[in-house]
Structure 1
């Protein structure tokens, strides 16, 4: 299967859709009657002039999530190929994104972290523009607004502003105006939120948006003991990908080296931003799969022993599907 997606063939979009359906069909069979539908933070939902149901059927939620995942996978694939981050075009980033987005059952329904991956991909498009831009202030302002928009959907996204500043360090010589522009862009979005609160005589509640940032951490929704088995091939692939990247690191273009450094920090910051939530679910880690999918794609593009990498990918894929069709 890997060799099929190593080539840049538009027909692979069809196979991506087929794989997406296969990986999600098992959940629909064993899902509860209703699943929660959350598309934004509560303070944003209260501002909307329309309301939507808090729960929907699992089939409908999985369908919406599947459409979102396929769109995000193609956008990520376009990003990687546009900047030639893997050295040659392929559909491996899209394949890896779809596989990782189905890793756990919590990933299969529509959720704010999944929606935020659109903003992460958009951020990466903008941040990579820092490399060749003569004047980055406009782009810095834009990425600040994108980070703020993601925060409206999912509050832990606020910490990805740190990724914006790390990108400025990696890609740009220091200029305080670039940093200020990113902060002004972020503040612009919440300025209009504050105006809305003021016009509705609720300005005294504006600070409550940020109260979860200071809430003590209370717990984590743990994986099922069987789900830990799925992490074994994931960890193996990540380690092999890092070794493969290390082999070719100094042979790569400067943009590629800098981008993989940024992706590493993206993963670390996104993973540890769970602390914003007093109690959170595994769906939070959906915001980590964009950088992981790129590392996966890098390994499978340059791996040489076909029997090994095909077997490893097959075990991961079968494990995901198996645990969805078995509730134990």
Structure 2
């Protein structure tokens, strides 16, 4: 299968769609009785009066989520290929993106994090363009606005503001205007929200939006390790990919090296941002999938022994299906 997706062949569009539905076979087989979907954070709902909480039946919810993941995979695949992060253009980024969004049952339904991934993929594209832009102030301003929009959908998305400064450190020489531009873009969106709350004599509620920023990072985690055994094959592939990347790191283009450094920090920031949501769900970690998928794709794009990487991917798929059904 990996060898097939190493080719930029249009027929892989069909295979990718089939793979997306195959990886979700368990949830189509065991459809939950009820699924909620909150499209926006509570503080944003008065502005956009759309209620999707009970708009879809469970099977419709799962089907739409699968289609959205497929669309995201295609967009993500194109962006990674355009920026030449892998050895050659392929469908591996899209394949790994779908694989990453199939690890847990909670990943397979509509959620704010799933919708936010459209914006996260867009942000990744803009970050990777920073080194190619003569004047990136407008780009950084746009990134700030995109992060603000993502925050309206899912509050922990705000943590991506940190990535603006990390990206500027990696890709640009210091320019204070660029550092300010991202914050201005973010504040612009919330300025209009503040005006709305002010007009409705409810400015106290606007201040309450920022209360999660005062949360302390948890020192103790309650984890049922049996629920995360599915991550073992993922960890093995990530270790192999890291070794492969380390071997080729200084032989790669500077832009490629910086791109992988950016995605590594984005993975960490996306994972750690869960503390901004007091009652977060496992689907929060969908935000880690785009940067993580690039690393997985890098290994399979550069692996040499076909029997090994094909067997490894087959074991990965079978283990995911096993733990989902069991």
Provide the TM-score with structure 1 as the length reference. 0.95
Q: In the alignment, is the contact (CA less than 8 A) between 1:35 and 1:55 conserved in 2?
A: no
* Counterpart residue number, 1:189: 189
Alignment partner, residue 143 of structure 1? 143
**Is the contact made by 2:38 and 2:51 (CA closer than 8 Å) also made in structure 1?**
no
Q: Which residue of 1 aligns with 2:94?
A: 94
CA apart distance, 1:49: 2.9
Aligned position for 2:240? 240
Distance in 1 between residues matched to 2:4 and 2:250, nearest whole Å: 28
Q: Does the residue aligned with 2:229 lie in a helix, a strand or coil?
A: helix
Aligned residue in 2 for 1:23: 23
- Three-state SS of the structure 2 residue aligned to 1:35 is coil
8 A contact 2:39–2:51 mirrored in 1: no
Match in the other structure for 2:66 = 66
Please name the residue that 2:287 is paired with.
287
2:36–2:54 CA contact under 8 A, matched in 1: yes
2:124 is matched with 124
Equivalent residues in 2 for 1:254-273 (5 A)?
254-273=254-273
2:250, 2:208 → 1: CA distance? Answer: 48
Q: 1:320 to 1:36 in 2, by over 3 A?
A: same
- 1: CA distance, partners of 2:221 / 2:34: 23
Kept in 1, the 8 Å contact 2:62–2:110? The answer is: yes
The farther-off stretch of 170-179 and 228-237 is 228-237
Distance 1:156 1:57 in 2: 27
- Range moving further from structure 2, 42-51 or 172-181: 42-51
Provide the rounded CA distance (Å) in 2 between the counterparts of 1:150 and 1:228.
27
How far apart, in 2, do the equivalents of 1:58 and 1:322 lie?
23
Which deviates more from structure 2 when the two are superposed, residues 51-60 or residues 174-183? 51-60
* Residue deviations 1:50-86 (CA, integer Å, cap 9, x gap): 4333474321111111111011100110001111111
Contact 2:87/2:302 (8 A) holds in 1:
no
Quick one: structure 1 residues 189 and 220, their matched pair in 2 at CA, closer, same or farther if it must change by over 3 Å? farther
2:103 aligns to what?
A: 103
Deviations 1:257-304 (A, max 9, x none): 110000000001111111112232211110001011000000001111
Give per-residue Cα distances to partners, 1:164-187, cap 9 Å, x unaligned. Answer: 110000000001110111110010
Query: Could you tell me whether the CA contact under 8 Å between 2:5 and 2:95 is conserved in 1?
Result: yes
In the TM superposition, residue 253 of structure 1 has moved relative to its aligned partner by 0.8
The residue matched to 2:8 in structure 1 has which SS?
coil
CA contact (8 A) 1:221 1:281 kept: no
Matched, 1:52 2:52: yes
Deviations 1:20-48 (A, max 9, x none): 11111211322321011121211112332
Q: Quote the residue 1:35 is aligned against.
A: 35
Q: TM-score, normalised by structure 2?
A: 0.95
Q: Look up the SS of the partner of 2:168 in the other structure.
A: helix
Tell me the distance in 2 between the aligned counterparts of 1:96 and 1:112: 21
Deviation at 1:322, TM superposition (A): 2.4
Aligned-partner Cα distance in 2 for 1:216–1:31: 37
